[in-house]
Chains A and B, each alone.
Chain A
């Protein structure tokens, strides 16, 4: 049984390894950014400036983020399978530290993606200024939720046939309730309504998924 300190060290090592191998090729990040910007352009071109239609804006913002996330978040696990590095990785760390390290990496990845996408969205779509504190809180919690669900599904999906097609199909149903809550919270902060209820629901759902996945990660890679 690994000690707690060694697990933290393993998580940190996995996170650093993921960042380094991503930085070497930047294949995942580049394709995700390209995807996000293309989606954003298509949406912006198709509907034009929406002005104060915050209900549509909130939905479109999250659809752009979701699309980019779905195009890239399974990448961390699929890369190990396709590069045949999974066995080696498992010699270095236990399944849970690997998954947690990859979860943190996915979170970081989403953060970078949003730093580019969200300001661009604001400029192109021209909505009213958001309530920054609430807006960033919703964005952060939504990203955590997205990363937790997508990492778990990515880990499962990496070992299947037709994994890239299946990833969107399998993770979307789990993400839909989150998406509904996060869109309604984003809309509520624009109109100045309270968002505590949505945030609480989102936090509870994320926490339940996270707890379940931490218990289950150990069973992902036994062969």
Chain B
């Protein structure tokens, strides 16, 4: 409860500071502010999909259904944050490049990630039986994450892209204004906390749903 309040106050305060206190990057002008939301979204989606792979492998090793809850909840949230990164990027592209969608390598590769994890959800929904669903989705999730480094990091860096990380992040070093950097990292931490909270909620819902199902199935089974 306290942790949640602190988290919300933290995000709210730093959002205000990011919009009012931090300066703008000259080349990006007013659109600078998207970076406080766009980059954390992209980062959290990679984190979430990695978390999903980690628990998928853990499931395949230990066969405990709790790992499947974590894996599926993380994949769903990863997809949500990936949509967030795509939409905020697309809005930014409209402001800077003049069109919402132009198949820039960045846009193409994030779109592939969306499709790959959309397929994960489609796959899950079509497998019957808890154990089989957990096992097959875990196999797919582990393979799907293999493609993420290619799509998120390798392809956009080697193909020519108009994406502006050279402006704020050239040669692997972070060259931001100190105020921008501070707001950015504060919000990165804040949104990561938000993700952790959402994940725990989703996992609890899944656990309760299973317990409810077991409880409502048990009397019918004993009566028969």
Contact = CB atoms under 8 A, between A and B. Distances in A.
Interface of A: 152-153, 156-157, 159-162, 166, 169-170, 172-174, 176-177, 180, 197, 201, 204-205, 208-209, 212-213, 216, 219-220, 222-223
Interface stretch (B27-35, B131-139, B163-171): B131-139
Contacts of A176: 112, 115
Contacts of A219: 60, 135, 138-139
B62 to A, nearest CB: 12
B126 A162 contact: yes
A176 B115 CA distance: 9
Given A174-B147, A177-B147, A216-B60, A156 B122 contact: no
B101 interface: no
Nearest to B137: A156
A166 B126 contact: yes
A160 B122 CA distance: 11
Nearest to A211: B146
Pairs A-B, 9 closest by C-beta atoms: A173-B115, A173-B116, A170-B119, A212-B146, A173-B119, A219-B60, A160-B126, A208-B146, A216-B139
- The interface size bin for chain B is 20 to 34
Nearest to B135: A219
Nearest to B116: A173
A48 to B, nearest CB: 26
Contacts of A212: 142-143, 146
B60 A177 contact: no
21 contacts: A153-B140, A156-B123, A156-B139, A156-B140, A157-B123, A159-B132, A161-B128, A166-B123, A169-B119, A173-B119, A174-B147, A176-B112, A177-B147, A177-B155, A204-B154, A208-B150, A219-B138, A219-B139, A220-B135, A220-B139, A223-B131
A177 B156 CA distance: 12
B128 A169 contact: no
B123 A170 contact: yes
Contacts of B109: 177
A174 B144 CA distance: 7
B143 A174 contact: yes
B151 interface: yes
Contacts of B88: none
Contact of A213 (B115, B122, B143): B143
B136 A156 contact: yes
Max count, chain B CB within 10 A of own CB: residue among A170, A197, A208, A209? A170
A205 B147 CA distance: 7
B90 interface: no
A204 B131 CA distance: 32
Contacts of A160: 123, 126-128, 136
Contacts of B144: 174
B126 A180 contact: no
B126 A177 contact: no
